[in-house]
Amino acid sequence: MSSLLLHFCKRLLLAVPVVWAVVTLVFLLIHIVPGDPVRNALGENATEAQVIELKRKLGLDLPLSRQYLEYWGGVVRGDLGASLVNPADRVLEKVLARYPATLELALAGLMVAILISIPLGVLAGRRRGSWIDNTISVVALLGISTPGFVLGPLAIYLFSIKLDLLPVSGRYGPEYLVLPAVTLGAALAAILTRMVRSSVIEELGADYVRTARAKGLSESRIVFRHALRNGLIPVVTIIGLQFGVLLAGAIITETIFSWPGLGRLTIDAINSRDYPMVQGCILTIALTYILANLLTDLAYRLLDPRIRS
């Protein structure tokens, strides 16, 4: 356990340059976009005095190097600044208010992907070359090829409008989570199904599986206790890498289903040119992605003790 903790601390230190790069890029966002964000936020009828006053309040009249240091100081203190559209709104407060909804949706989408991919992947791997394997492969290919902005409206039309089984939009109960989670997790489920299938096929051809069969172990025990566990290493890695994709994909999914999360807040901030709010949303998603990769690295070391050495 101590070696595992030491490894995690080392990985955490290696993540520091990544965090620095992310914060720097997010800071530069407001300076590389065309136009004056303050003037855009105030509108065309704003006077020069109003523009100067808002820039002074937000610290945008300072030299770029000073602004960079001020921004870093704010990040360290947990202060991401104020909204351009409504200066009374603090960015961090708005982001934290929306963050649980996005995390809930991303985790639900991940759970949907895992619940679909592992049974189908194992079944396809055990029946390699059969019609079952071919059917699952075709379904997985369709899942990968169908983007969320197509699958979401189709799901709304079928399950909400035609069948009247599930609500269309909002976040008022567990039933409101079903369609967004399935829409978000479908593509990942397709990717993981193919990964699980390949891993199971590879592991079932290993020497230790032949030894287990010679000892008289049941096929189910061989697959689920040995082959699947050893084959989960690449699957867990893909899950960790794809979690950031889920967070990014949540922007589209939240817009389709009016889910009150970070994705919808980001879109609203972009439409209103509220760049400090966009900065806060992107920074939060990026830091979550970094943390997810650290936890993934820890998870596959727990699955396979040989990796620790």
pLDDT in tens, 93-145: 999 999 999 889 988 998 999 899 888 888 888 888 888 888 888 888 888 88
Say yes or no: 45 and 145 in one domain. Answer: no
Specify if 138 maps to a domain: yes
Say yes or no: 126 and 190 in one domain. Answer: yes
Say yes or no: 64 and 27 in one domain. Answer: yes
% pLDDT > 90, the chain:
4
Q: Residue 34 above 80 pLDDT?
A: no
Say yes or no: 119 and 41 in one domain. Answer: no
Specify if 5 maps to a domain: no
CATH number at residue 238: 1.10.3720.10
Specify if 1 maps to a domain: no
245-286 tens-digit pLDDT: 787 777 888 888 988 988 888 888 887 778 788 888 888 888
Say yes or no: 29 and 136 in one domain. Answer: no
167-201 tens-digit pLDDT: 888 888 888 999 999 998 888 888 888 888 888 88
Say yes or no: 23 and 121 in one domain. Answer: no
Of the candidates 77, 110, 129, which is a domain's last residue? 77
Say yes or no: 73 and 116 in one domain. Answer: no
Q: Residue 15 above 80 pLDDT?
A: no
Rounded to two decimals, the pTM is 0.81
pLDDT at 303: 64
Say yes or no: 107 and 73 in one domain. Answer: no
The amino acid at 21: A
The whole domain housing 251 covers: 99-308
Query: Looking at the 3D structure of the chain, how many domains does it have?
Result: 2
